[in-house]
Structure 1
Amino acid sequence: MTWLANLSPKLRQYLLITGNYWAFTLTDGALRMLVVLYFYGLGYSPFDIAMLFVFYEIFGVVTNLVGGWLGARLGLNKTMNIGLFLQIASLAMLLVPADLLVVPWVMAAQAISGIAKDLNKMSAKSSIKMLVPGDAQSQLYKWIAILTGSKNALKGIGFFMGGALLALFGFRNAILIMAVLLSLVWLVSLVKLKKDIGKSKAKPKFIEIFSKSKAINVLSAARLFLFGARDVWFVVALPVYLSATFGWSHFYVGGFLAIWVIGYGFIQGIAPKITGTAQGQTPDGKHALMWALLLSAIPALIAMSLVFEWHDKASLIIGLLIFGGIFAVNSSLHSFLIVSYSGEDGVSLDVGFYYMANAMGRLIGTVLSGWLYQNYGLTACLWFSTGFVALAALLSIALPRHKAIAT
C-alpha cells in the first residue's frame, strides 16, 4: 500500500469518494433488478412495477435540488455519508417478511433509495471540480468520463449481481448480503473521508438552488429528454419483454442487461477519445447536437424492424447495443459540459440542479415505460424514445460553442 501513501491528499480523497460511489452503485443496480424480477415473478403487471419506482424518481428530483444546496453549505463528505446510510436503511426496510412487502412499503423503501442515490451521485460528481485546475478542461473531461463510465460498468455488474443473488439466495437473503457489505463501506467512509470538501465559502441561500445560467438551464432540459428517451424503454419494458416474449430466465435477463450497461460504461470512459479530445479538442454544444441527432435514428430503426417483423429479435439485440454505445457518448458529453459550465464555488448547486432534470427525465421515462408497454407494447416505447432524443437535439442547438459561460 506504499503507492497509496505516496499519492497527494486530494487524489486519495478522490479515490475514497470514487470507491464509495462504486460500492453504492453495485447495490443500486442489484436492487433495481431484484425488485423488477421479483415482483414480476409475483404476478405484478409492468405498470405496477413501474409504480414501485415512482417515488425513487420523484425524490431524486427533490434531492438533487436540495442536495446541491446542502452540499454547498455542509460539505460533500456529509452528503455522501448521509447517502450511504440512507441506502442501508432502504435495504433494511426490504428485510421484512414477504407478506409485508406490499406496494406502499416498497415504494417508501425506493423513495429512500432514490434520495440516497442522488446524494451520492451529486457528491461524487461535484468533487471532481475541486481537483482539476480551471484551465485544464481536457483533464476535467477525462476524469469525469472515467468516473461516469466506471460507475455505469459497475451498475451493469450490479444488474447481473441482482439477478444472480435472486436466483441463488432468494430476495430476502440477497438484500441482507448487500446491506451488510454496504454498512462496512459506510463505516470506513465516516472515518476516512475529509471534512468540508466542496463546502462553499459563501453560505448560499435556499432560493439559489435554481440556476440562473442559460447554458445550464438548456443543458438540463436536454438531459431531461435524453434520459427520458433511455428509460422509456429500458427500465421496465425491456426486461419484461425479454422475459415474456423471448422466454429468458432471470439469469439471462440480468446477465444481458449487465453486459449492456458494462459496455455502456466502457464507452463512457473512452468518450474523450471518441469525440476527439485526445487531439486537444474539448466538446461544446455542437458535439452535443451531432451525437443527439445520431442517437435519435436508432430507436426509430428498431421500432420499424418490430413493426415489419424483420429479424425482430436480432434487430432488438443489435439495436440495443448500438443505442447503448451512442447514448454513452451523449451522456459523457453532458456530464463534462455541466461541470465545465458550473462555477467553482458552490459547484454542487449547479450540478444538483442539472441532476434534478436528469431525475425528472428518469421519472417520466419510468412511468411511460410501464404504461406504454402494458397498453401499446415495446414499439410505442421506442417511438417515444425517438421523439425524446429529437427534443434533446433541438435544445442542444442553443448550447454554447467554446465561448465563455456566465454563471
Structure 2
Amino acid sequence: MLSQLNANVRQYMLVTFNYWNFTVTDGALRMLVVLYFYDLGYTGLEIASLFLFYEFFGVGTNLIGGWLGARLGLNRTMNIGLGMQIIALLMLAVPASWLSIPWVMGAQALSGIAKDLNKMSAKSAIKTLVPENAQGALYKWIAILTGSKNALKGAGFFLGGALLSLIGFQYAVAAMAGVLLFVFIGSLLFLKSDMGKAKTKPKFSEIFSKSRSVNILSAARMFLFGARDVWFVVALPIYLGATFGWDHSAVGAFLAIWVIGYGIIQGIAPRITGKASGQPPQGKSAIIWALILAVVTGLIAFSVQQQWHPEIVIIAGLMLFGAVFAVNSSLHSYLIVSYAKGDGVSLDVGFYYMANAMGRLIGTMLSGWVFQVWGFAACLWVSFLFLAVTTLISFGLPNNQAEPLRG
C-alpha cells in the first residue's frame, strides 16, 4: 500500500511520523518535570529555571541547525534530534537522588536542542516536497503538520500527568526513551539522505536572514510565543493545582484538551483564513488575528484580576485564547515557509525558529518570576502587552498577491 504512494508523499509521511512521536515525548516530559518538581517543593521560579537551558539552547540550535540542514541534509538533523532526545530522557531515568538542578538543566538542554532540530527539519522538509507554484497545497500541508503536532503535544501533556500518577517519574521517562529508539532506527533506514540539502554549500555567515519579510515575521513570532508561554509554561499548571486544588491527572488532562483543541484549529486554519477569499493568507491576515488575540487576552486578564468567577473564566477564556492563538501560529507557519527561499530553505526557517525559541525563553522565565511575585493575572497582562507588540510589528509584513487556494 505505502509502496504505491508518490515518493514525496511517503517522505512526508515519514517526516510527520517522526515529528509526531517526538512531540508526544516532548509534551509529556514538560508536564512530568513541572509537576514532579513542584511536588518536591520547588518554587515557580526554580521550576522555570529547569527549562532555562531548554529554551536558551533552542535559540542557538535553530540558527546553527538551519545551516547544518542546508549543508548536511534534513534527514541528518532530524535523526540527530531523535538521538539527543533519547539521551536526554535516559539522563532523567536515574535515581531521584541524582536529579539535582544542574543535572536536570543539562538534560533539558539536550532536549531543547533535540526538539528544535526535529521541528526545523520537519517544517523545512515540506518546502522541499511541495512544488514552488503550489502555495495553496503548501499552506494545507503546513497546517496539517503543525496542527497534528500540537494535538499530539496535548496528548503528551495528558500522558505525562497520567504516567507520573501511575508509574512514577523515572519509569515514565525510560519508557518514552524506548519508544523513540524504535522511531530513530526506522528514520535511519528510510529517510532520503539528500532531503533539504542546498545545491551550494552555504557559509556560516549566512545563518542570519537577509530577507526583510523573514526578519519582520521572526520578530512578530518572538512576541507571539512569549505571550503564550508567559502564562502557560509554569504559571498555569501551578495555579490550577495550588488555587483550585486540581490533582496531577486533572491538570494534565486540562492542558492536554487545551493543546489538542489548539492543534485541531491549526489543522483547519486554511478553511478559516483562506477559503472565503480564495487566496492564501497575507501580511494583513497576521495583523487582524494578532489584534483579535490581544483583545481576548486583555478581557481574560481583567476578569481574573477582578476575581470574576476565575475558574470558569480561566477554563473558557483560555480555550478561546487557544483557538485564536492556533490561527495566528498556523498563519505564521505558512508565511515563513512561503517567504523562505527554495534552495537551502532551512536557513530562513532556522532563523525564524530561533526567534520562536527566544520568545519561549523570555516567556518561560517571566512565567516563573511574574507568577511568583505578582500572580497569575499579572502573567496575563504581560501576555496582552506582548500581543500588542506582535500586532504592531505585523504591519511591516508584505501583502503580495498569491496563488488562489484549491481543494
Q: TM-score, normalised by structure 2?
A: 0.98
Please give the residue correspondences for 1:349-360 in structure 2 after superposition, counting only pairs within 5 Å. Answer: 349-360=347-358
**3-state DSSP of counterpart to 1:134:** coil
Match of 2:91 in 1: 93
**Cα shift at 1:318:** 0.7
Amino acid at match of 1:356: M
Amino acid at match of 1:399: L
- For residues 223-250 of structure 1, give each alpha carbon's deviation from its aligned partner in whole angstroms, at most 9, with x where no partner exists: 0000000000000000000000000000
Decide which moves more: 359-368 or 279-288. Answer: 279-288
**3-state DSSP of counterpart to 1:211:** coil
Contact 1:211 1:217 in 2 (8 A): yes
Contact 1:21 1:124 in 2 (8 A): yes
Contact 1:272 1:278 in 2 (8 A): no
**Cα shift at 1:298:** 1.6
Match of 2:155 in 1: 157
CA distance in 1, matches of 2:56, 2:306: 37
CA distance in 1, matches of 2:355, 2:301: 27
- For residues 195-238 of structure 1, give each alpha carbon's deviation from its aligned partner in whole angstroms, at most 9, with x where no partner exists: 11000000000000000110000000000000000000000000
**Cα shift at 1:8:** 1.0
Please give the residue correspondences for 1:242-257 in structure 2 after superposition, counting only pairs within 5 Å. Answer: 242-257=240-255
CA distance in 1, matches of 2:137, 2:304: 42
- For residues 40-84 of structure 1, give each alpha carbon's deviation from its aligned partner in whole angstroms, at most 9, with x where no partner exists: 000000100000000000000000000000000000000000000
CA distance in 1, matches of 2:56, 2:301: 29
CA distance in 2, matches of 1:91, 1:129: 30
From 11, 17, 23, the equivalent of 1:13 is 11
Amino acid at match of 2:399: R
Q: Do the aligned partners of residues 12 and 278 (structure 1) sit closer, same or farther apart at CA in structure 2, a change above 3 Å counting?
A: farther
Match of 2:139 in 1: 141
**Cα shift at 1:381:** 0.3
Contact 1:21 1:120 in 2 (8 A): yes
**Cα shift at 1:98:** 0.5
Match of 1:380 in 2: 378
Amino acid at match of 1:51: S
Amino acid at match of 1:18: T
Instruction: Show structure 1 runs of 5+ residues with no match.
Output: none
Match of 1:306 in 2: 304
Amino acid at match of 2:187: S
Match of 1:173 in 2: 171
- For residues 127-151 of structure 1, give each alpha carbon's deviation from its aligned partner in whole angstroms, at most 9, with x where no partner exists: 0111111111111100000000000
Instruction: Show structure 2 runs of 5+ residues with no match.
Output: 403-407
Decide which moves more: 294-303 or 140-149. Answer: 294-303
CA distance in 1, matches of 2:358, 2:189: 34
CA distance in 2, matches of 1:344, 1:119: 19
- For residues 353-376 of structure 1, give each alpha carbon's deviation from its aligned partner in whole angstroms, at most 9, with x where no partner exists: 000000000000000000000000
CA distance in 2, matches of 1:354, 1:303: 29
CA distance in 1, matches of 2:348, 2:107: 28
Amino acid at match of 2:33: V
**Cα shift at 1:186:** 0.3
**Cα shift at 1:152:** 0.2
**Cα shift at 1:5:** 1.2
- For residues 100-157 of structure 1, give each alpha carbon's deviation from its aligned partner in whole angstroms, at most 9, with x where no partner exists: 1000000000000000000000000000111111111111100000000000000000
Please give the residue correspondences for 1:7-406 in structure 2 after superposition, counting only pairs within 5 Å. Answer: 7-277=5-275, 280-402=278-400
**3-state DSSP of counterpart to 1:245:** helix
CA distance in 2, matches of 1:156, 1:306: 24
Amino acid at match of 2:245: G
**3-state DSSP of counterpart to 1:345:** coil
CA distance in 1, matches of 2:276, 2:182: 39
**Cα shift at 1:10:** 1.2
**3-state DSSP of counterpart to 1:111:** helix
**3-state DSSP of counterpart to 2:244:** coil
Contact 1:138 1:277 in 2 (8 A): no
**Cα shift at 1:278:** 6.2
**Cα shift at 1:279:** 5.0
Decide which moves more: 57-66 or 395-404. Answer: 395-404
CA distance in 2, matches of 1:215, 1:206: 21
Q: Do the aligned partners of residues 313 and 42 (structure 1) sit closer, same or farther apart at CA in structure 2, a change above 3 Å counting?
A: same
Amino acid at match of 1:196: D
CA distance in 1, matches of 2:296, 2:238: 21
Amino acid at match of 1:136: A
Q: TM-score, normalised by structure 1?
A: 0.98
CA distance in 2, matches of 1:148, 1:58: 22
**Cα shift at 1:403:** 5.3
Contact 1:138 1:280 in 2 (8 A): no
Contact 1:277 1:283 in 2 (8 A): no
CA distance in 1, matches of 2:20, 2:13: 10
CA distance in 2, matches of 1:247, 1:162: 18
- For residues 227-283 of structure 1, give each alpha carbon's deviation from its aligned partner in whole angstroms, at most 9, with x where no partner exists: 000000000000000000000000000000000000000000000000133652110
CA distance in 1, matches of 2:131, 2:178: 38
